[in-house]
Structures are given as structure tokens and as C-alpha cells.
Structure 1
């Protein structure tokens, strides 16, 4: 039976949820506080990453955060602040950063990423969005030091053991696979299992498709209250309209935590800010890469090369810290010495907030206390990669179908 569904949030997760639900014949309204032209879904590295099997909450991360806390240009930055929610989240993050919990998360992260990778291909093959960049060249982990190599080699060996395609490239092999750019690196680990896209190409195409099939897209409209009765959402109130949905999907990214408070839910979530610089000239770069010592990503997208990075916990704001943008530009130059990112490119840098749960795993599932609410957020640095699979899982939950994978690890009710 067709349902009236409100999706709060118009990022990749919200739009993919609308995509799969529209195919089931439901009447869908997507509400977004912005105009769906910016934010994390537009400024990310565009990776599809089965190789990212280690969650953000891993041993040593809190120590790194404390060490870098007073350097606002550092790749992993936690701004010191007396904020009860942030302090509680930090404690949960610390508790989640154990070897045992990481081991438990690894196969789950691999599985959900592989499902999503195939769904990206299915979406392209459907023709619904027309043509868009979707390449499977893999991902290079470029390293300058033996220490970085040995650190990544442990991950690569584990990925290979799990059946993911990985190879080891020395300097001469690296030059063969990336012949048109000078790279200052000792070698690379090549995760052949990965792919990449251009987010600024896919997002508008997805929006246009959804509008064409009757999805109601409400932009520049902020949810200000959500009314419940007997454990059921009865009304979603925005600054422009009132909605009376059968089902609600909370996919508002970093703002999901604030909205969950209106429902008396304890959804621990922090916004992790990332930055990007686009270089719309020939760089010679044809392979996606993570520059290990610089802790940043490089992606050859349609029409430009994107340099992206940092994880900054400083509250839900869009402030662009110039020192962090410069750190990305300098990191790029250190690995590609012939490349100089110019002043105009640095000045046009953008930022976006990624929703980060304490254990680095997304929240995907039904609320235990509110019968008609599904939560889909908290994807950290895997939001783009996991957009399609999250949308598919949401659709399966709404339609009471067997889900494509076990969702226990992603339960919004889990404790830390």
C-alpha cells in the first residue's frame, strides 16, 4: 500500500531513500533546510570505498585528537570547548576505539560498501539519471615513509584476506600506472576494489530524476518541530508548512542529532567538517589517491581535480578556516611537486559537515520508541559511498521486506 512519506534531509542518503521508495509507488516529500547545492554531499572525495574497512573510531584516534587539539591546521582537529554533547560523544568515541570493536566492525563495513558499490552500477545502468562518471580504477594509498607503508600494509593484508582486490606498487610501477604527473612518493598500495564519481554531477541528476517521477522537493524549508502521540509522529512542522506523514525518515546529516531531541531520542552525533579545493585545469592526475602523510584525498572528477581532506570537530558551522585549506594545498604540492594550487583556487574552497557517530558506523534502522520513524545518518566519511545502500535499506524497512544485510550493527538504539 502506498504511503505518504516525509524525508528530512536532501543529501545523498535522503535522495537515495527517495529514489528507491519512489520505485515502490510511495508519495514522497523531501524537506531540506538549504537549497541542495552544497554541503557534505557536494564537497566529498566521491569515493566508493570497500577498502575503508577500519572505522574512524579506532585505537589511538583520541590520543591523536588530543595531540592535535591546539593545532587548527592539523588533519584531525578537535576544537577545545565545554559542550556537554561533544564531551559525551568524545567519551563514547573513546570507548568505541578498541581493537575488539574494530574487529567486529570490519566485516560489516566491507559488506555494506560492496552492496553499495553494485547499487551505484545498477543506478547508472538503469538510465534513470542519464550518463555520469562512475569509474573503477581503484584507489592509490601513496606513501613517502616506511612507517606509513607498514601501517597501511596491515590494512591491505586484512582487506586481501577478506577477498578485496589489493596490490603493492613500487615507485617504477607507480609511474607506469600514473605516467602523466610527477609524484614524490616511494610507492603505493593499490586498492583495485574501489571506484570514484563526481558528486556535483550525480546530485543534480538525482534531483531532476526525482522531480520527474513526482517526488516533492522542498528546499530552503526548515523543520522546527515534530509532534508525536502515543509513540507515533503525527505532524512535521516547518517554517513554511505542516505535514501529516505515515512514515518519517530522519536523514538530516549532522543536524539529525538536534532534530532527534525534538523526539526525545538520544542520538549521539557530531559534525565532522571536511574541506575541498577544485582545480579546473589539467593536473595530469588520472588515479584517485590518498596522500598518507598529508592525510588527504585526490580525485580526478569530470572537469576538475578535487583535493579534499581534514576531519574537524568544531560544532555545526560552515566557517572556512584558511589554515586548513592551506594545509590541503601544501599537502598536494608535497606529493605532486609540479602542482601549485593558486590563490583563486584556495579562495574558492568549500566545506561540508559529515555526521559522525561515536563508533564511526552509521545509524540505519527503525526507532524502538517511535513506530513510524526510520533513522538514516551518522555515516562519517563513508556517506557518499553508502548513499545508495542506505536508501535501499530504508526502502526495504518501509516495505517490510527482508533487508539486504543484517542491520544490528547499525541500530540507532545501540549503546556505546
Structure 2
């Protein structure tokens, strides 16, 4: 007999959890403070990225952040502010940015990404959502400087050692795969293992399927408080109603730390703001790419091309900084000959908040504080890529099944 389960959070992590829990016969109520039409799950680059084996918390990242702190258009921007949670997170991030942490994280990140890539294909082949955009064209890492080329060659070698499909391209090979590139580009690494999707197409299809199958959606409702006794949560109260359940899933992204506090749990999460620009006309861009020096992601999606980027640590807000939008647009035009992004396209830019843990790894697992709470958040820039895998693992935890992979490294109570 299925359990009654409440999921707090309706991004790709929450929806994926609902999808797999539903398959196991559970009864799902999903609560989200929005109307499920915007946010990080809608404005991301759509990447499914086994290639992204290096966590955000890596040697030198904090130094880069401090160096870029006074340049609000830089790819990695930290807004100086007196906030105790942010200061604690910063100390944990700095302590995690070590070679040892990177070495520990690489196989975990690779394995969960490969699991998720396979699950995306299974969802596509199941026909549950109907047709949706899913392509495995890989990901180009385009570089203009020898420094970036050398760095990416080292990452590519490690990815290859991990068994991923990687190819270093000559300029001739690159020009065949992607014409109309700037003559300033020195070369590229092609991660053939990667795939991509169109989030604004897939998200509504996933919501529609879940509704058809009986998942109850409580949108525009904010989780305000919980009732609990000893090691068991009994209910969650929103701004509209109180709901009871057997199990609870915390998948509330950048809001997770604040919600966890209501349960007297410490969960370090900071919102990392990312921006996107959509161009609804032909751009000549055929393959997803990352413009390395600018840290801009480029994705040919269903009917448009998306340019996305930046990691802005400035708290929970959806303020659009024009200088950051222009930095993305200007970088894109400098890598592709003949590409222009209009003022109108720039003015329609949107942003989303990605939940970033101090060590760059997600939180997936049971909280030690409660027997009926599963946490699934902190995925940073890999939330879209890791959605199905996280949903599958959440379902295996709640259904007392054998896990698809070892998740000890994702434990919500780990120390930094």
C-alpha cells in the first residue's frame, strides 16, 4: 500500500521525485510557493552533463570570487554583505575548496550524472510525457586562450580516465561541427558524453503528466511551519492550509535552508543566481557549447537559442543586473561570427536561483533528525542534469529499495 507523501518544492527535483514516487504507487501532494512557470528549472541551459565532474568548490574558487567581488559583471560575483548564514556558508565553501574534496567528488558527480542521463532516455522512451526535445550532440568547450585550453585539456584527460567519451578537436574538425566561429578561438574539447533538452518544453509536460496521474498540486502556497514530535513530522502548514502525510520530501531549492530551520535542522544552502537570454531566430548555432573565458553556456533549444551564465551570490532576490546580461550577450557575439543579440532580447532576460551547497555536492538522503524526512536539494548548476537521478534515489529511499548508487557522499548531515 502506497504512502501519503508531501513534496515541498516544484522544480525539476521535486517533479522528478513525484514522477518516480508515483510509479511506486505512492500518493503525492506537491507544494510550491510559485505557479510553476518560472525559476531555475525554466531558465537553465538544459544540459545533461556527465562531463561536469569538477565541483564548484575547488582550489582557487574563493580567491577568484574575492578578486571579482568588485566587478558586478564578472562570471562569478559575490555581493559583499553582512549575513551570518552567508558568512558561515563562505567559511564552509573555502574549507571545502581543496584537491582532496575534488578527488572525492569526481566519481560521485560522474556516477549520478550518468544515472540521470540514462533515466532521461528512459522517460523519453516510456512515452509518458509524449514527444520532447532530447538530443545527445555532446558539449563543446570553446577556448580563446592557451591558458583555458591547457586547463580544459587536464579536465578532459581526467574525464577520459573516468571512462567518459571525450575528443580534442582540431580547428578543421571544429569548423565542420560548428561553422561561423570567431577566428579568435584556438580550439575546443568535445564532450561527446553529454546531452541537452529544452526545459521550458519539458517542465510543463512533466507537470501535465503528474496531474493526469493524480498528483495533487498546491501552487502559490508557501510552507510556513511544521508539526513534529520526537523523530517524526506529522504535518506542514502553508499560508492557506495544513497538510498531513506519512513522508515528507524537502526539495525547495534555494529556500531549503530557511525551511530546514523550521525543523531545527542546519542545512547550508546559498542561492546562486543565473541569467538567460533567448534568441527566437536562426543563429547558426548547432551544438551546445561553453564559452570558456566568459563562462557562458550556449544551447540550441526547440525553436530558439539560449545563452545562459553567471554565478551570482547575492542572497534571495530576482533582481536583473543589466551589466551581467550585457556581459553574457557580448561574450556570445565575440565567439560567433555574425551573431547579434538585440536590445529587446537583452531586456527580456530572466534569472533563476540555483541552490549551492558549500562543497558543490547535492544533499540527498534521510535527515538524521527525522525518520520520515528525505532531503533533496543543493544541486548548484547541475540541478537540471541531476533531476531524474535524484527523484529515483528519493523514491528508493522512501520505498526501502536498494539504491541505484552509493549516496553516502551526499548525506545531508555531512560536515564541511
TM-score under structure 2 length normalisation? 0.99
**Superposed, which structure 2 residues align to 1:209-248 within 5 Å?**
209-248=209-248
Q: Equivalent residue of 2:140, what SS?
A: strand
CA RMSD of aligned residues (A): 0.8
Alpha-carbon shift at residue 178 of structure 1 (Å) = 1.2
Correspondences of 1:126-141 after superposition (within 5 Å): 126-141=126-141
1:411 and 2:411 matched: yes
The residue that corresponds to 2:285 in the other structure is 285
- 1:2, 1:121 → 2: CA distance? 26
Partner of 1:163: 163
Evaluate the alpha carbon distance shift between residue 286 and residue 183 of structure 1 in structure 2; reply closer, same or farther with a 3 A threshold: farther
2:116/2:386 contact within 8 Å kept: yes
Give the match's secondary structure for 1:89.
helix
* Partner residue, 2:361: 361
CA contact (8 A) 2:180 2:337 kept: no
**Match of residue 41 from structure 2:** 41
Q: How does 1:101-140 map to 2 (within 5 A)?
A: 101-140=101-140
Specify every segment of 5 or more residues in structure 1 that has no aligned partner in the other structure, as ranges: none
Contact 1:355–1:380 under 8 Å retained in 2: yes
- Greater alpha carbon shift after TM alignment, 148-157 vs 228-237: 228-237
Residue 200 of structure 1: how far off its partner (Å): 0.4
Query: Do the aligned partners of 1:170 and 1:186 also contact (CA within 8 Å) in 2?
Result: no
Q: Which moved more, 1:323-332 or 1:177-186?
A: 177-186
Alignment of 1:14-413 (within 5 A): 14-179=14-179, 184-413=184-413
Deviation per CA, 1:33-77: give whole Å up to 9, x if none: 001110000000000000000000000000000000011100000
The reply to whether residue 10 of structure 1 matches residue 10 of structure 2 is yes
> Offset of 1:278 from its aligned partner?
0.2
Task: Tell me by how many angstroms 1:343 deviates.
Answer: 0.6
> Number of matched residues?
416
Say whether the 8 Å CA contact 1:181–1:284 is kept in structure 2: no
CA–CA separation in structure 2 for the residues paired with 1:25 and 1:165: 37
Contact 2:180 2:336 (C-alpha < 8 Å) held by counterparts: no
| Shift of residue 179, structure 1, vs aligned partner | 2.8
Q: State the distance in 2 between where 1:164 and 1:51 align.
A: 7
1:154-174 per-residue CA deviation (whole Å, 9 max, x = no partner) reads 000000011100001122111
Q: Which runs of 4+ in 1 moved over 6 A?
A: none
Q: Find the residue that maps to 1:137 and give its secondary structure.
A: coil
Q: Quote the Cα distance in structure 2 between the aligned partners of 1:241 and 1:184.
A: 58
The alignment partner of 2:310 has SS state of: strand
TM-superposition CA deviations, 1:98-154 (whole Å, max 9, x none): 001101110111000000000000000000000011101000000011111000000
Q: Hey, what's the Cα distance between the residues in 1 that align with 2:153 and 2:107?
A: 18
Counterparts of 2:241 and 2:335 in 1: how far apart (Å)? Answer: 51
Q: CA deviation at 1:337?
A: 3.3
C-alpha contact (below 8 Å) 1:181/1:283 kept by paired residues: no
| Aligned equivalents of 2:367, 2:96: Cα separation in 1 | 22
- Following TM superposition, by how much is the alpha carbon of 1:218 offset from its aligned partner in structure 2, in angstroms? 1.1
Q: Distance in 2 between matches of 1:369 and 1:196?
A: 37
Distance in 1, Cα, partners of 2:354 & 2:127: 29
C-alpha contact (below 8 Å) 2:182/2:334 kept by paired residues: no
Aligned to 1:225, what secondary structure does the other structure show? strand
CA shift, 1:406, in A, is 0.7
